Every structure is written in structure tokens, then in C-alpha cells.
Chain A
Amino acid sequence: MNQKETVMKEQWDLIIRPYRNLFDLNFKEIWQYRDLLGMFVRRDVVTVYKQTILGPIWYFLQPLLTMLVYVVVFGNIAGISTDDIPQPLFYLSGIIIWNYFSECFMQTSDTFSQNQDMFGKVYFPRLILPLSKVVSGLIKFFIQFILFAGVYIFLLIQGVAVMPNLAILWVPVLLILMAAMGLGFGLIFTSLTTKYRDLKFLVQFGVQLVMYATPIIYPMSAIPDKYKTIIFLNPLTHIVEAFKYAFLGHGSLTAFGLLYASGFTIFILIFGVLIFNKTERSFMDTV
């Protein structure tokens, strides 16, 4: 009789408890819902520019116009050096890699508040949604990368002396680091904002501020010594610098930089996933 009962207990497919172990992550379940991830990506990509005249051209226009503004404002008016790299290439490379980070961060940082209607009605592993944003951000990145490559090849034909080097093999790693860091921060922010809305106000201009603390519109060499430590401590610096180095030959790709950025990213991502996992169970009561 007793034996029968123990057998019975093991048969439950799912047990819902009031509290769950912090590290109780169900990756198997996320894998089971991978089709849903694909659908969400499709939804994002298909619907963004519905009923616009220019459609996906906006993917190009946004970085292109930003680049032009940077060329005028930072390059010509402020006269910030670009280390002899053609200004369009210098800014564009920074813009696209930065865009990917900010896309991952901004899009995931309001996961709970944006989707509360859906989350209130149906269960699926909530992590699917921020993950889908990272993937659709990647698609957007590739489209913008085509623009970058176009400008790059155009200038190459014009005889500008830039050459990609072997460091280009690191680019996938750099992209993963960017995605993971954006996602990690996004998860932390969305989890905290379910209860304390204050952080929401930080997201918008916080990203702007951090961008100025990252060598996007200026090269490392142009930084006065007293600010160097701050810029150097910013893990994004190393990723952006490595990306620029791979394509433009200027910048820096150091083992220390990459290790530091990777360590930081892993920590943020794990912390983000854990806090997100804890929040997802009860956020409907506090949102």
C-alpha cells in the first residue's frame, strides 16, 4: 500500500508550489516552446513596419540618419577625432553594435508591463518573450550590418585604407556578449519595475548616458586620462572596441578586455535570469 503511494507521487507531471527554489529553472520547457519563440520573432519582424510606405527601409534609414547627424555634430562641429578612420565608417560601426545592445536591453526591459494582458491569460515560459526580442534584434542587426558592409565596400573601392583582419572571427562572440548583457540588464529592469515603477524612467535616458560612457562617438585615444578608468571599467567598452578593431583595424582587442566583459556579462545574465524567474511567478499580483 505504502509502495503504491510512492509510485503515485512520482506520477505527477507538474506540482505547483507557493515558493520555488531560486535555481529551479526549467530549460527543458523553454526548449519545448521553441516554436513559440519563432512565432514571436516573426510577429516582431512582420508587424513593425506594417502600413508604412518605406517599410523595412526604415531599418536602414535610422542608422544612416543617425550617422549623418554624428558626422555633422561630433565629427565636424565638435571636431572629435576618429583616429583617421573615415567618419561614416567609424560612427556606423559604433552605431550598429550599440543599437543591438540597446535594442536587446530596451525591448526586454518592459517585458512584464508590455505583455501583462497576455501573461494574465495564458501560461508559457515567460523567458521566451525576452529571448525572442534578442533574436529579432539580431535580425535587425544583420539588416543594418548590410548597410555597414555597403558603405565599407564603397569606401574600399574608393581606395580608403581600411582592412578587416582576422579578429573578425571574434564577431559572433562579441554579438553573443552584447545580446547577453542587454538581455541580462533587461531582465533585471523588467523584474524590478513590476513593483517599483521608478526604474522605468531610468531606462530611456540611462541608455543614452551609458552610450556616452562607451567609445561610440570617440576613439579610446581621445579620452583624457582622468576619465580613462571609468570608460575602461565599462564592460561595453571592450566589446565595442573589439568590434571596431575587427573591421577598422583601430581600437583594441585584448584578452583581458574580453575576459572582463565576458565575466561581467555572465554574472549579469545569471542574476537577470534568476530574478526574472522569481518575479514571473507572482508578478500578476503586483504589476
Chain B
Amino acid sequence: MSDIVLSVENVSKLYRLGEIGTGTISHDLNRWLAKIRGKEDPFSKIGAVNDRTQKAESNFVWALKDIDFKVRQGDVLGIIGKNGAGKSTLLKLISRITSPSTGLIKIKGRIASLLEVGTGMHPEMTARENIYLNGAIMGMTKKEISRKFDAILDFAGCTMYVDTPVKRFSSGMRVRLGFAVAAFLEPEILIVDEVLAVGDAEFQKKALGKMKDVSQREGRTVLFVSHNLAAVKDLCKNGMLIKNGSLSFSGTAQETVLEYQKIVGGGNVYFHEGSIESAIGNNNIRILEFSALPTVGEEINIESGINVLLKFYNSKPNINIDATFELRTSDEVTVFHHGPLITQKNDSKTGIYNVTFKIPSKLLNAGNYYFKVIFGENQRYVLYTNPDLISFEVQNISIGSNSSTLPGVIRPNLEYAIDFNYL
């Protein structure tokens, strides 16, 4: 007996780029002609890959292409990817808001999607009326809502305002009310899209806790889309990475988050895939890999220490190369300047060099940092400069009784001595 509750089979979604509504009658006629002659949709052949950085060659784009995966009962699947990669489109297909262009989606059990909280709430109606309305929109029956009504009000924390029109609520309260209704849905499969990005910290904690409850204690299946990598790692067992409309990686949530950080510039890991010529850089130098990872543990914090790795391709033989690292804070303060010589006496070779060094623990203070890297010849001529390929955040942790962030760019652990004399 298999316990697969959601099976997505070769699903693709084709979208039309540009303005919709002009000249579509001719396209429609074309399509219709192809259809009655039993041919394939003439526009689906020319669909481009969903990569928003490239200039479109055709008017049609595959927002999703051949997505294929299965989800087991009780699984909590985190779906991550860059903006516009197709995550939300996928959720929309699964929650039946729009239909796929090809492929099948099979679902077992009731499915509820939270692509937004408080959908359909009417500002003129009271909280009570809105709970019923929103609950019914989400697929609950009146009886079900009545049964859970008090619990919903309690969770939202607005028992006092039950007969006040929602338009008098603060936006935070409205979100709380909406989430509270959703939290008491009892679907077999719950789909959540980034709704936690709103609301205050306390509410986010509450919402995440509720989701954890739903998945771990009640054994429900959850699909969770978020840019909050910490939340994905915390909540999800498995992960899935969507890149340019196709499934590029799936594995445990930890692995997926790491994989994601590799493809996203601006994170603490840059990793180039593909030919050397297409890597970032110029004709002299191409950067293949650049990362700042904690020496110990999972996250970079004030005690972890940082291993920095730079892997680059050099095309100029027989010169003297140096690579200069400038560590800067997000407020443009240069923390240090580190310029290791790669070669000593005009003997560089064409090929790949690796540079590694370690930033000791208890040196950097908590905050955001980034690396500027300059490749030079004979310490005089610049071969290539990259202003900010990788960045990272140093987390604060409490040391002794002090848990707050201290001022200063660095937070060194200085050796000290105390001498005391009576007068």
C-alpha cells in the first residue's frame, strides 16, 4: 500500500508574454484550426525557458516545464527558488486556480490552499460574519465553522472585537483573523505560500508553531513555499528547488537550502555551473566558486569563524597574480584588506587556482558583510574587480550573560590583565 497523496506528473504551464488581448483572435483561430486538424498547439512548440534574465525570443514562455514529483502522506515539503522561478504557479496549479498546459496532477483527500490569508473578507462586515464567510470560501461548512468558532476567535486574539466591522481593524489584526480561520481548516493537504511574511514577530512565531503542529502532531501533508530559508529548514523534512520553471533539485530540506544558496548571487555561496567562458569575470579571470562558510556549525555567528574559498580560472600565463579581498560591512566600512600573492615571480599558468583562508572566531561583530575582490598583476595593474559577489550575515549569540548586539565593526576577544593597588 502506497501512501502517496499528491502526484504531479509531467506538469507544464505555458504563458503568453507581453500584452494579452491584442491580436488574440488570430492566435485563437490558429489554435483552433490546429486542434480540429488534430495537431499540437502551434504556440506551445516555441515556448522559451522561463529565465527572466534572458531576452525573450518568443512570445510564449514555459512558466513550468515537466515538473514531476510525488508527496507522501505526512510529508512537509518546502519549495524554494528565486522570484519568478515558478513556485507560485505550481501552487496555483495544484490548488486548481488555473489549469496546467500539459500533465496530470492527482490528489488524495481534501486540499486547502493558503495563497493569501483572509481571502474574500469584506471590510464592512463584522469579524463574526467574516469568519463564516472566509471559512466557507476555504471550503468549510457552516456547521464546522460554528464548532470551531470560539477557538478561531481565541487564536486570532480578537474576542473583544467580534461584532466590529473588519475595516476598523488594523492590518495586522486582519491578517491574524484570516490566518486563524485557515489554521482551523482540517484538510489532508495544506498548501501555504509565503503568507507568513506579514504580521509581527509574535504572530509569525505563532503561525509557524501552528504549522508545525499541523504537520508533525496531526500528520498532515504540507507544501510550503517561502523565501525564509530558516523557516523552511525548521519546518520541512524535504525540499524542492525550482529554477527557471523546472525542478532542479530535490532532497532533504537542508540539502535543498544549501543548493539554493549556491545558485543565488548575494548569498554566502556562489557556485558556477557550465562552461568557463560563461562564468562571471572577464577575459583575464573567471570566478568559478566563491564561498564564506562557518568553520564550525551550521550558521555563521560571532564564534563560528569563517572559511573563505575562492576558485578562479586564470588565462594569462607568466605573470604575477595577486588576489585582494576587501571585507566590508553593509554600511561600506572596510573591515580589512587581505591581499595574498598567488604567484611569486612571473610564473602564473593558465588554469584553475584555489585560494582559501580563515577568518578567526570572535573577530567579526554581528552584522552584514560582503567581499570585494580585486585581481591584480604585479600588484599594480587590475585584471578584474568584482564589487560584491558574496555577502553573509554574522549572527549574534549570547556570550555569558550578554545577549544583546554590541556596537562596533569588530568584536575581538582581547586578552587583558587587571592590577590593583590600595592608595
- Which residues on A are within 8 Å of B, measured CB to CB? 8, 11-20, 33, 35-36, 38-40, 42-43, 46-47, 50-51, 117-124, 195-197, 281-282, 284-286
Comparing B65-73, B89-97, B404-412, the segment that makes contact with chain A is B89-97
- Using known A-B contacts A38-B142, A122-B138, determine if residue A16 contacts B98 with beta carbons closer than 8 Å: no
CA–CA, A59 to B122, complex, Å? 21
Are A118 and B137 in contact, CB atoms less than 8 angstroms apart?
yes
Q: Is B20 part of the contact surface with A, judged by Cβ < 8 Å?
A: yes
- Cβ contacts A to B, 14 pairs, < 8 Å: A14-B107, A15-B104, A18-B99, A19-B99, A35-B142, A39-B136, A43-B133, A47-B124, A50-B165, A197-B21, A282-B98, A284-B98, A285-B15, A285-B16
Residues of A within 8 A of B369 (CB): none
Q: Is B402 part of the contact surface with A, judged by Cβ < 8 Å?
A: no
CA–CA, A281 to B93, complex, Å? 10
Are A16 and B139 in contact, CB atoms less than 8 angstroms apart?
no
Are A47 and B122 in contact, CB atoms less than 8 angstroms apart?
yes
- Using known A-B contacts A36-B136, A39-B136, determine if residue A121 contacts B99 with beta carbons closer than 8 Å: no
CA–CA, A117 to B120, complex, Å? 8
Q: Is B101 part of the contact surface with A, judged by Cβ < 8 Å?
A: yes
Q: Mark B246-289, 1 if CB is under 8 A from A, else 0.
A: 00000000000000000000000000000000000000000000
CA–CA, A42 to B125, complex, Å? 10
Residues of A within 8 A of B106 (CB): 12, 14-16
B376: min CB distance to chain A, Å: 52
Residues of A within 8 A of B330 (CB): none
Are A36 and B137 in contact, CB atoms less than 8 angstroms apart?
yes
Are B20 and A286 in contact, CB atoms less than 8 angstroms apart?
yes
Are A51 and B108 in contact, CB atoms less than 8 angstroms apart?
no
Pick the contact of B107 from A12, A17, A285, A286 — CB < 8 Å? Answer: A12
Are B98 and A281 in contact, CB atoms less than 8 angstroms apart?
yes
Are A16 and B122 in contact, CB atoms less than 8 angstroms apart?
no
Q: Mark B352-372, 1 if CB is under 8 A from A, else 0.
A: 000000000000000000000
**Residue in chain A with minimal CB distance to B140:** A35
CA–CA, A119 to B99, complex, Å? 13
**Residue in chain B with minimal CB distance to A38:** B142
Residues of A within 8 A of B153 (CB): none
Pick the contact of B125 from A13, A46, A196, A284 — CB < 8 Å? Answer: A46
A250: min CB distance to chain B, Å: 43
CA–CA, A14 to B93, complex, Å? 13
Pick the contact of B115 from A18, A33, A121 — CB < 8 Å? Answer: A121
Residues of B within 8 A of A39 (CB): 132-133, 136-137, 142
Known contacts A12-B107, A286-B20; 20 further A-B pairs (Cβ under 8 A): A13-B107, A15-B104, A16-B93, A16-B96, A16-B105, A18-B102, A36-B136, A38-B136, A46-B124, A47-B124, A118-B137, A120-B92, A121-B116, A122-B97, A122-B116, A123-B96, A282-B98, A284-B98, A285-B16, A286-B21
Q: Which of B92, B96, B136 has the most chain A CB within a 10 Å cutoff? A: B136
Q: Which of A19, A35, A51, A282 has the most chain B CB within a 10 Å cutoff? A: A35
**Residue in chain B with minimal CB distance to A51:** B124
Are B105 and A118 in contact, CB atoms less than 8 angstroms apart?
no
- Which residues on B are within 8 Å of A, measured CB to CB? 2, 7, 15-16, 20-21, 24-25, 92-111, 113, 115-116, 119-120, 122, 124-125, 129, 132-133, 136-142, 165
CA–CA, A29 to B363, complex, Å? 63
Residues of B within 8 A of A36 (CB): 136-137
Residues of A within 8 A of B107 (CB): 12-16
CA–CA, A285 to B89, complex, Å? 11
Residues of B within 8 A of A8 (CB): 2
**Residue in chain B with minimal CB distance to A283:** B98
Residues of A within 8 A of B132 (CB): 39
**Residue in chain B with minimal CB distance to A19:** B99
Residues of A within 8 A of B120 (CB): 118, 122
Are A285 and B98 in contact, CB atoms less than 8 angstroms apart?
yes
Residues of B within 8 A of A286 (CB): 20-21
Residues of B within 8 A of A281 (CB): 98-99
Residues of A within 8 A of B16 (CB): 285
Residues of B within 8 A of A119 (CB): 97
CA–CA, A8 to B108, complex, Å? 11
Residues of B within 8 A of A51 (CB): 124
Residues of B within 8 A of A285 (CB): 15-16, 98
CA–CA, A50 to B124, complex, Å? 7
Residues of A within 8 A of B140 (CB): 35
Are B100 and A18 in contact, CB atoms less than 8 angstroms apart?
yes
CA–CA, A118 to B102, complex, Å? 25
A16: min CB distance to chain B, Å: 4
Are B108 and A12 in contact, CB atoms less than 8 angstroms apart?
yes
A23: min CB distance to chain B, Å: 17
Q: Which 6 A-B pairs have the closest CB atoms?
A: A16-B105, A36-B136, A123-B96, A281-B99, A121-B116, A284-B98
Are B109 and A13 in contact, CB atoms less than 8 angstroms apart?
yes
A193: min CB distance to chain B, Å: 11
CA–CA, A12 to B106, complex, Å? 6
Q: Which of B105, B122, B124, B137 has the most chain A CB within a 10 Å cutoff? A: B137
Residues of A within 8 A of B96 (CB): 16, 123
CA–CA, A123 to B94, complex, Å? 10
**Residue in chain B with minimal CB distance to A284:** B98
A56: min CB distance to chain B, Å: 15
Are A284 and B97 in contact, CB atoms less than 8 angstroms apart?
yes
Are A15 and B124 in contact, CB atoms less than 8 angstroms apart?
no
CA–CA, A17 to B100, complex, Å? 7
Are A43 and B125 in contact, CB atoms less than 8 angstroms apart?
yes
Residues of A within 8 A of B124 (CB): 46-47, 50-51
Are B20 and A16 in contact, CB atoms less than 8 angstroms apart?
no
CA–CA, A33 to B24, complex, Å? 35
Are B142 and A122 in contact, CB atoms less than 8 angstroms apart?
no
**Residue in chain B with minimal CB distance to A14:** B107
Pick the contact of A43 from B94, B95, B122 — CB < 8 Å? Answer: B122
- Using known A-B contacts A46-B129, A121-B119, A195-B21, determine if residue A16 contacts B100 with beta carbons closer than 8 Å: yes
